[in-house]
Amino acid sequence: MSLLVVNNLSLSFGGRTIFENLTFQVSEKDRIGLIGRNGTGKTSLMRIMVDEAAATAGEVRVTKGMRLGYLAQDISDPSDETVLQSVLEAVPGRVELDQRMERLEEALSQAEDQEEQAEIGHKIAKLAETLTDFETQYAKHVAEQILTGLGFLMEDMDRPLAELSGGWRMRAALAGLLFQKPDILLMDEPTNHLDMDSVRWLGQFLERYEGALILVCHDRDFLNSQINRVISFEMEGVRQYRGNYESYLSQRAEEEHVLERQAKKQEQRVKDAMKFVEKFRYKATKARQAQSKLKLVEKMEMIKTHAPQKSMSFSFPEVPRSSQNVVTAKELTKAFGDHVLYKGVRLNAQRGDRIAIIGRNGAGKTTLLKIFAGEMKAGEGKVDLGHGVSLSYYAQHQAEQLEASRSIVEEVFTAVPKATQTFVRGVCGAFLFSGDEVDKQVGVLSGGEKARVALAKLLVNPGNCLLMDEPTNHLDIVAAEMLTDALKDYNGTLIFVSHNQSFVKRLATKIWDIKNQTIEEYPGTLTEYFDHLDRLEEEEEAQARQEAKPAQADDAPDPAGGTRAEKKARKQAEARIRQLRWEKIGPIQKRVQEAEKKISKLEAREAEISELLADPDVFSDSEKSQPLLEEYQKVKDGLDTLMNAWEADQEAIEELEAQLQAELDA
């Protein structure tokens, strides 16, 4: 089934054609990757599809009833909502339904005429059915699961969006989009602002997602795992391919190989024909044949090979050799107020290491790089640089720190003031700024262009220890891979932060994972580290199952350490806590159970009344509808009272449970 059709779509800006005559359709199981360099029209196409921008020509037709959900790279200013509210209310029509119910209930409380009351009651009943269906399809616990998958804690649910950073607000927007369950999900760089765990969770979520997907992403591995079609913005126009990104690359290479072979054969045929023409055009017996061959050549449509796209082409220069120990941290502690990032950490980066720092957002990855770079002080401990170590720091927002009033070439010159014009212009050319482009002011450049300028400045004068924070941000997939290749050949030491799985997997030889106020070091690749974590989880589950088996002897050694006697003492303590739990929590739980039974009965009666009022014969008869309306109001009031009491008892149980657990742990 076709969900959406793009027909002969064209887009131009200021006389420049971005794409033209683009036609394709999106079906139910399509998972489409939009591939192309920055500025080729990927984001523009998405915005046209969701009616946020206009095309120059052509049309987009959405099948009736199909819903589109769009995650842009930038989000608007935050509202006054909490994190959880923003997700729950992201579903189209939810807010309007709640507001409509409030208006109807207010109107019912003020209506005096029985006929008017009956009519309003009928509307309330119908709307209540709709809201019940809505709550079933878009449950609160599902919203919470999505938010926690994206890195939010339960205590974050009631935080106002306005308190959050831009990155966390983007996560909330992503959660709202996923919660909506649109028929077509359009996502523009969804892994931006996510940490490694959240990227893994998002990938698993999308693999289970049943709708269609249209995706722009510079993370090669993430993109490759999600798509089964490619729409590619090439020099010769927009092309379409079946398969994932790796398949697209193979098809594209084979296509180029075939075209080159055909072009060579055609070129040889032309040469042979022209040779015949030159030899026989003036010979009477062959003149007509020569003329025919000449006309054939003139009418021949020449085979064109794919025009090569300009690519960044650079490598880091050889850097001086440093001592074996490059960066050493001893008893490193950092906290912001009461929030401790890490405490008493010892780290050592050795010459030639390529270390990826991972951890959830807010764990302190950027902070650690800033401490190493000398841009932030540690709370306690110290950081020592080895002999002959020179640091170069590429900050997460390095591109934003460029001087807007300078030209590109002037900005690059600031990194190497003694270099020649020829050298600096050559470097600019390697980063795709050639000719008069180098005289453009930095302030008018796109995010991707600014990122290339910042990388150019790093390239011309790199230290032998690079500290890089999210260096692939604003780069397209090809540019990110060029940077990966250059860093693989870099002969210095690299310590970096990146959410790009492909980038980390191809580069890292060591992992520093920030969690639980410490930094765990793993000597291996990201793939090996994830495998290691999976094995640990399996071992812990097996250990838990083993410990759950009944003990056989009090004095026998316990697999987890200690003796059976100690384990028995622990069980006795747990039994005492169970007794206290029965004495203190038992009565409250009994009240909760009784309240839940009453709530269930009242909800059932509320549904029955709603169904009765939905009958036109009933609501039009005031003698029948009036008692029902009065009962409906009493039931609603009773439910409110019971729910308030139930919530208070639940909070009391949680507090008592926490106290008892603290006693057990003491």
Highest mean pLDDT among 67-76, 132-141, 446-455, 506-515: 506-515
| CB 226 within 8 Å of CB 213 | yes
Domain co-membership, 345 together with 452: yes
CA distance 259 to 481: 26
Tokens at 151, concatenated? 């890195």
Residue 338 within any structural domain of the chain = yes
Question: pLDDT of 40-84, one tens digit each?
Answer: 889 999 999 999 999 999 999 999 888 899 999 887 777 788 999
pLDDT on residue 560 = 47
Q: Is pLDDT of 271 > 90?
A: no
Residue 119 within any structural domain of the chain = no
Q: Which of 345, 332, 329 is nearest to 519 (CA)?
A: 345
Domain co-membership, 505 together with 630: no
Residue 124 within any structural domain of the chain = no
pLDDT on residue 320 = 92
| CB 564 within 8 Å of CB 556 | yes
Q: Is pLDDT of 561 > 70?
A: no
DSSP 21-66: EEEEEEETT-EEEEE--TTSSHHHHHHHHTTSS--SEEEEEEPTT-
Question: pLDDT of 427-440, one tens digit each?
Answer: 888 887 878 888 88
Domain co-membership, 394 together with 487: yes
For 35-53, letters b (16+ CB in 10 Å) and e give: bbbbbbbbbbbbbbbeeee
CA distance 237 to 44: 15
Q: Is pLDDT of 577 > 80?
A: no
Pair type for strands 465-469 and 391-394: parallel
End-to-end CA distance of the chain: 62
Domain co-membership, 368 together with 429: yes
DSSP 113-125: SHHHHHHHHHHHH
pLDDT on residue 377 = 92
Domain co-membership, 472 together with 414: yes
Residue 230 within any structural domain of the chain = no
Domain co-membership, 492 together with 379: yes
**pLDDT class of 104 with cuts at 50, 70, 90:** confident
Domain co-membership, 294 together with 333: no
The domain boundary, picked from 496, 518, 534, lies at 534
CA atoms within 13 A on the CB side of 593: 6
Q: Is pLDDT of 576 > 70?
A: no
Domain co-membership, 370 together with 291: no
Residue with more model confidence, 655 or 467: 467
Residue type, 590: K
| CB 164 within 8 Å of CB 78 | yes
pLDDT on residue 559 = 47
Residue 621: give the domain boundaries: 564-665
Spell out the SS3 assignment of 575-607: HHHHHHHHHHCHHHHHHHHHHHHHHHHHHHHHH
Residue 574 within any structural domain of the chain = yes
CA distance 249 to 227: 13
The pLDDT of 211-227, averaged and rounded, is 93
Cα–Cα distances (Å) from 123 to 92, 108, 614, 619, in that order, read: 20, 10, 8, 10
63 φψ region: left (φ > 0), alpha (ψ -120 to 50), beta (else): beta
Q: Is pLDDT of 634 > 50?
A: yes
| CB 187 within 8 Å of CB 73 | no
Domain co-membership, 291 together with 437: no
Residue 600 within any structural domain of the chain = yes
Residue 189 within any structural domain of the chain = no
Q: Is pLDDT of 236 > 70?
A: yes
Q: Is pLDDT of 242 > 50?
A: yes
Residue 212 within any structural domain of the chain = no
pLDDT on residue 215 = 96
CB-based burial label for 461 (10 Å; 0-12, 13-18, 19+): middle
Q: Is pLDDT of 620 > 70?
A: no
For 59, phi and psi rounded to 5 degrees?
-150, 160
**pLDDT class of 619 with cuts at 50, 70, 90:** low
**pLDDT class of 149 with cuts at 50, 70, 90:** very high
pLDDT on residue 583 = 66
CATH number for 583: 1.10.287
Look at the pTM and tell me if it is higher than 0.75.
Answer: no
The pLDDT of 536-547, averaged and rounded, is 80
Q: Which residues, including other chains, have CB under 8 Å from residue 462's CB and lie 6 or more apart?
A: 316, 317, 319, 392, 490, 492
User: Three-state SS for 338?
Assistant: coil
Domain count, the chain: 3
β-sheet with 339-350: strand ranges across: 339-350, 325-336, 380-385
The pLDDT of 328-348, averaged and rounded, is 92
**pLDDT class of 298 with cuts at 50, 70, 90:** confident
| CB 335 within 8 Å of CB 341 | yes
Residue with more model confidence, 237 or 566: 237
Q: Is pLDDT of 608 > 60?
A: yes
| CB 432 within 8 Å of CB 452 | yes
Q: Which residues, including other chains, have CB under 8 Å from residue 118's CB and lie 6 or more apart?
A: 613, 619, 620, 621, 622, 625, 626, 629
- Average predicted confidence (pLDDT) for the chain: 84
pLDDT on residue 666 = 65
Domain co-membership, 290 together with 350: no
CATH number for 400: 3.40.50.300
Domain co-membership, 427 together with 525: yes
Domain co-membership, 411 together with 291: no
How many CB atoms within 10 Å of residue 298?
7
The domain boundary, picked from 534, 552, 580, lies at 534
Comparing 468-472, 546-550, 629-633, the range with the smallest average pLDDT is: 546-550
pLDDT on residue 115 = 77
Cα–Cα distances (Å) from 105 to 25, 99, 101, 491, in that order, read: 45, 10, 6, 72
CA distance 409 to 374: 28
